[in-house]
């Protein structure tokens, strides 16, 4: 009983503080454009505003809902709140959390996984903020280095290298489930006439759904 009460108290605190920080982040996100409108008395008219929103809002809202359903079971409550406030989930937060849980030999969805995921995401957020701060302060000095021809191939392949390394680890654990989304994504990127690299936020949840469907089919056929 004592453990259950402690766990419940921890979950309650996570959700209480997480909601406060989410609302605070939402207020900060809208504060700058609102302040600009107030200071310069330059309010956008309703027609162009809603016309612009109509083209992007449905996509972002849909992806937002899908990402909550996809990442929350993986990252846990604390990790999810931190990730959605600090952003860059698919590129940074999820790989950091999964790699930390794998190194600690704990599974997502467990109490241990919840703690490890939250710590990993918190550390990655702090490191990112520190690096960005250093980069902003010293941008003038390091800009020629970052834009040099020698480093361009490295920056262009950071994301594939990151997900490639993680993919090998997790696909090798259960290749039967990982094979379906892998083949689908390979075929999609090869056949598609457009560059899909900018649609990672949509394709990651799609891959997760395909993996779930494949796992269900294999389970029904006693292949797992």
pLDDT tens for 103-161 read 888 888 888 888 999 999 999 999 988 988 887 887 777 777 777 788 778 877 777 77
Nearest alpha carbon to residue 91 among 149, 153, 155: 155
Q: Specify if 190 maps to a domain.
A: no
Q: Specify if 104 maps to a domain.
A: yes
Residues with Cβ within 8 Å of 25's Cβ and at least 6 positions away in sequence, in order, are 85
Per-residue confidence (pLDDT) for residue 1, from 0 to 100: 41
Q: Specify if 162 maps to a domain.
A: no
Q: Specify if 146 maps to a domain.
A: no
How many domains does the chain divide into?
Answer: 1
Per-residue confidence (pLDDT) for residue 26, from 0 to 100: 87
**Cα separations in angstroms, 91 against 35, 57, 101, 195, 204:** 31, 22, 17, 18, 10
Q: Specify if 143 maps to a domain.
A: no
pLDDT at 200 over 80: no
Centroid of chain to Cα 196: 17
- Reported as a single tens digit per residue, the pLDDT across 9-64 is 878 888 888 899 889 988 888 888 889 989 998 888 888 878 777 666 766 777 77
Q: Specify if 169 maps to a domain.
A: no
Q: Specify if 41 maps to a domain.
A: yes
> Quick count: other Cβ atoms within 10 Å of Cβ 76?
27
User: Which domain, by its residues, includes 40?
Assistant: 1-137
Give me the percent of the chain exceeding a pLDDT of 70.
Answer: 92
Q: Specify if 155 maps to a domain.
A: no
Per-residue confidence (pLDDT) for residue 120, from 0 to 100: 92
> Quick count: other Cβ atoms within 10 Å of Cβ 9?
10
């Amino acid at each position: 009983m004592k453990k259950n009460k402690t766990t419940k108290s921890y979950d309650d605190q996570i959700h209480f503080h997480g909601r406060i920080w989410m609302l605070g982040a939402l207020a900060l996100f809208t504060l700058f454009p609102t302040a600009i409108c107030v200071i310069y008395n330059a309010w956008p008219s309703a027609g162009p505003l809603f016309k612009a929103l109509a083209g992007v809002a449905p996509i972002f809202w849909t992806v937002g809902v899908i990402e909550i359903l996809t990442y929350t079971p993986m990252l846990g409550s604390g990790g999810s709140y931190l990730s959605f406030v600090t952003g860059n989930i698919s590129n940074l937060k999820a790989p950091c959390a999964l790699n930390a849980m794998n190194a600690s030999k704990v599974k997502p969805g467990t109490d241990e996984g919840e703690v490890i995921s939250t710590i990993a995401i918190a550390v990655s957020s702090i490191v990112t903020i520190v690096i960005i701060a250093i980069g902003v302060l010293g941008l003038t000095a390091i800009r020629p280095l970052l834009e040099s021809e020698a480093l361009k191939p490295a920056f262009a392949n950071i994301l594939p290298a990151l997900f490639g390394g993680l993919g090998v680890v997790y696909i090798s654990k259960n290749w039967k489930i990982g094979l379906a989304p892998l083949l689908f994504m390979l075929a999609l990127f090869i056949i598609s006439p457009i560059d899909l690299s900018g649609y990672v936020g949509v394709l990651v949840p799609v891959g997760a759904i395909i993996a779930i469907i494949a796992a269900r089919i294999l389970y029904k056929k006693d292949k797992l």
